[in-house]
Amino acid sequence: MRKQFIIFFLFFLGWGFFCAGPVQAHRVNVFAWVEENTIYTTAKFSGGKVARESRIEVYDSQKQLLLKGLTDNQGAFSFPVPKIDNLEIIVEAGTGHRGSWQIKKSELTLATETEKTKNNDSPASNRPASSLKPQAKTVTTRTVTAATPGPQISSEELENIVRKVVNKSLNEKLHPLLLMLSEIRNPDPGLKDILGGLGYIFGLVGIVAYIKSRKQPSASSQNLKS
Amino acid sequence: MHIAEGVLSGPVIAAGFAVTAVGVGIGLKKLDFEHIAETGILAATFFVASLVHVPVGPSSAHLILNGVIGLLLGWAAFPAIAVALLLQAVFFQFGGFTTLGVNTAIMALPAVVCFYLFAPLLKKPGKIASTAAFSCGLLAVFLSAVLLGGALYFSNENFFEVATIAISTHIPIMIIEGFITLFCIGFLKKVRPEMLP
């Protein structure tokens, strides 16, 4: 009889382990990052199911609501940087599900600084065609006569152009990486967590049993006496 | 069914802790030496059962098993569920520490209610006992969904529709839990009838 009960319990435990992997957990995570002048957010239930049409709210360090919106079918929501401040992004996925993410001020200043350098750069690229033409010429001539110096592109301009290109390709490369990072930052409950919790429960059972056994007139000691 | 940190208002959190404190107190007082191991095993079952999820719509619902826990433990369901929820908050980040009281009340109160409603019926023969077991599993989840809606409603008026959402997303869970309770009680009746109330 007792054996059957234990088998039943183990079956249940095994079921829990089995299902712990690919299922959705009862927790919603939001992850946000800054790219150029835009903040991207993605909301997911831990386990990978995206939180669709969930409310996203953005607060500044004074807890003032800056903006709000709804996530799309991929659980994503993006918006232009509303303010250079420590921002808190909150997702509410209904029935008590809520998650938050902080974006530090330094992260935003860094991102907007690169944006500024780009803005400085843009008038250069919008220069009248006449000033650009000689550059193009020198480039072509340079390929022919490598010894001719190309004085028209200053090192500063070149740096800006390179920075722009590098930023663009970096952003493209980093995007999936950041998404991956969001999943790592919010790990699902694993075997360790489950076993740890069960250990605590059985430990507590032992403690309660010990306390109750001291309160009760000990049956075993009475047996010993008789 | 787990309410996260920062969703509930102060009075609701306080009320939740008050109800849970009373429930855990009564539960521990009524818990006799013979039932300690059983309480622990059911707490462990509850702890693991929350990982068994059924995806429903934009949200996802998980097994709660408060019906069967209430039926077998009575008031001791309170300490069992409170401990399991605390450990879920620590290990899984389900729910939260400030919302522990409310979450325990949401899941343990229906368990106790179902114990008083259905435990006497289990001794009846055949179909009545089976129907009682099924209804117990179903009703416990239903009542939890109603309490969840209530707790959120008192915290934020926008949440009024939440009860309907909570109940509708838990309909599959209600049916599944009805069958699980039916199966558990039927099994225990055959193998360990002394475990039944």
Assess if residue A190 is contained within a domain: no
Q: Report CB contact under 8 Å: B4, A96.
A: yes
Assess if residue B111 is contained within a domain: yes
Q: Report CB contact under 8 Å: A209, B37.
A: yes
Name the residue facing A95 among B94, B148, B191 (closest C-beta).
Answer: B148
Residues forming beta bridges with residue A101, ordered by sequence position: A89
3-state SS, one letter per residue, for chain B? CCCCCCCCCHHHHHHHHHHHHHHHHHHHHHCCHHHHHHHHHHHHHHHHHCCCEEEECCEEEECCCHHHHHHHHHHHHHHHHHHHHHHHHHHCCCCCCCCHHHHHHHHHHHHHHHHHHHHHHHHCCHHHHHHHHHHHHHHHHHHHHHHHHHHHHHHCHHHHHHHHHHHHHCHHHHHHHHHHHHHHHHHHHHHCHHHCC
Per-residue pLDDT, A6: 61
Chain segment A113-127, per-residue pLDDT in tens = 655 555 555 444 444
Average pLDDT, chain A: 72
Structural domains counted in chain A: 2
Domain boundary among A105, A125, A158: A105
Assess if residue B84 is contained within a domain: yes
Alpha-carbon span B23 to B39, nearest angstrom: 15
Assess if residue B109 is contained within a domain: yes
Domain boundary among A105, A133, A164: A105
Q: Report CB contact under 8 Å: B33, A213.
A: yes
Per-residue pLDDT, A84: 83
Structural domains counted in chain B: 1
Q: Report CB contact under 8 Å: A27, B93.
A: yes
Assess if residue B121 is contained within a domain: yes
For residue B4, the chain A residues in CB contact (below 8 A) are 27-28, 96-99
Domain boundary among A57, A76, A105: A105
Q: Report CB contact under 8 Å: B92, A93.
A: no
b/e sequence A160-182, b meaning 16+ C-beta within 10 Å: beeebeebeeeeeeeeeebeeeb
Same domain membership, residue A148 and residue A83: no
Q: Which residues of chain A have pLDDT under 70?
A: 1-26, 46-48, 111-151, 183, 186-187, 216-226
Domain that holds residue B151: 10-195
Same domain membership, residue A156 and residue A120: yes
Assess if residue A217 is contained within a domain: no
- Written as one string, the DSSP assignment of A208-223 is HHHHHHHHS--HHHHH
User: How close are the terminal C-alpha atoms of chain B, in Å?
Assistant: 27
CATH number of the domain at B93, please: 1.10.1760.20
Residue A26 C-alpha, separation from nearest chain B C-alpha, in angstroms: 6
For residue A201, the chain B residues in CB contact (below 8 A) are 40, 43-44, 47, 83-84, 87
Chain segment A81-122, per-residue pLDDT in tens = 888 888 888 888 777 778 888 888 887 777 666 555 555 554
**Least confident piece of the model among A21-25, A97-101, B42-46, B96-100:** A21-25
Assess if residue B3 is contained within a domain: no
> With an 8 Å Cβ cutoff, is A26 touching chain B?
yes
Assess if residue B1 is contained within a domain: no
Sign, Cα dihedral of A46, A51, A55, A56:
positive
Mutate to test the interface with A, among B46, B60, B141 (most CBs of A within 10 A): B60
Assess if residue A93 is contained within a domain: yes
CA of A146: how far to CAs of A143, A151, B166, in Å? 6, 13, 73
Domain that holds residue A146: 109-181
Per-residue pLDDT, B105: 94
pLDDT band at B142 (very low <50, low <70, confident <90, very high): very high
> With an 8 Å Cβ cutoff, is A212 touching chain B?
yes
Place of tokens 């008031």: B75
Assess if residue B4 is contained within a domain: no
